[in-house]
Amino acid sequence: MGNSSVRRPYKGVFPVVPTVFDADGRLDLEGQKRAVDFMIDAGSHGLCILANFSEQFVLTDAERDLILDTVLNHVAGRVLVIVTTTHFASHICAERSRRAQQTGAAMVMVMPPYHGATVRVRESAIQEFYRTVSDAISIPIMIQDAPVAGTPMSAAFLAGMARELANISYFKIEVPQAAAKLRELIALGGEAIEGPWDGEEAITLMADLDAGATGAMTGGGYPDGIRQITDPYFAGRRDEAATAYERWLPLINYENRQCGLIACKELMKEGGVIKHETVRLPLQPLHPAVRAGLIEIASRLGPLVLRWGK
């Protein structure tokens, strides 16, 4: 199922796929497939499923497996697929990662182990956690360095794991001062840092590209817009990329600061990609005024999502 025509290192725009529900909060697998088709048509170099922006934390294990199988079978090698396999327990994360690889994933993304606001483990235990996962698979592991884990990991610690653990080679950096951390990570890790990537809905994308980021994992609503930034940047046309970033920044900012994970679903619903923008309780729908602001900003930019299904 993997796309053997795409060679490492993997670069480009790899947005997060939302998990699509019907009006009652049940999985909508046909809607899920349409969301995937739209995101591929919109220029995604690859996709990430079962991430936090996919509401992975509201899914049962059986639902996770069903989404994994459905998406990988439907993508059928058209693009690379990254599967988030985060779990606190080392062996469960390793099992999830092994299953993702067997199903056709090109990479897994894993947060450091954490639980709630206070349950954390020391660096040596984090390294053993990632060693267990790395030993279970032969595809790359992306470490998601995000505030939600509440687990500080220095650039030196991350670079050390990249040098010492076989499959630790990609890093999604979305903590404050991300660009500075990316620069330090690249300087300390050298060739072991195969993929230094930007995250957090591209809110710091230009600074992160300038720091050496080679990939962007954004929300899934407008990968065509993100490519208007990254394509010219990687082609050496920074001024063109900066102009595009300024144009898309109001939408990027609105998604990041006002809407969160539901922005992608609202845009897909507005454009006829999916039938329902449902999020599972206790998550709440957007206030009508916030939704109106999102659609107004997006309409000025004209992303494919607003016309794909119409």
Q: Which of 11, 33, 172, 265 is catalytic?
A: 172
- For residue 216, give the H/E element and its range: strand 215-216
According to DSSP, residue 85 is labeled -
Rounded Cα gap, residues 147 and 203, in angstroms? 15
Half-sphere exposure of 262 (CA within 13 A, CB side): 19
Tell me the sheet residues that pair with 142. Answer: 109, 170
For residue 158, count other CB atoms closer than 10 A to its CB.
23
Verify whether residue 172 is a known catalytic residue: yes
Residue at token pair 């060693």: 131
Name every residue whose Cβ is closer than 8 Å to that of residue 19 and which is 6 or more positions away in sequence: 27, 32, 50, 54, 55, 56, 59, 67
Residue (of 226, 216, 222, 179) closest to 10 by Cα position:
216
Rounded Cα gap, residues 17 and 52, in angstroms? 10
Rounded Cα gap, residues 82 and 92, in angstroms? 18
- For residue 220, give the H/E element and its range: none
Quote the tokens at residue 45: 């170099």
3-state secondary structure of 142: strand
Angstrom CA distances, 1 to 59, 65, 104, 135, stand at: 24, 16, 5, 22
Query: Would you please indicate which residues are annotated as catalytic (active-site) residues?
Result: 172
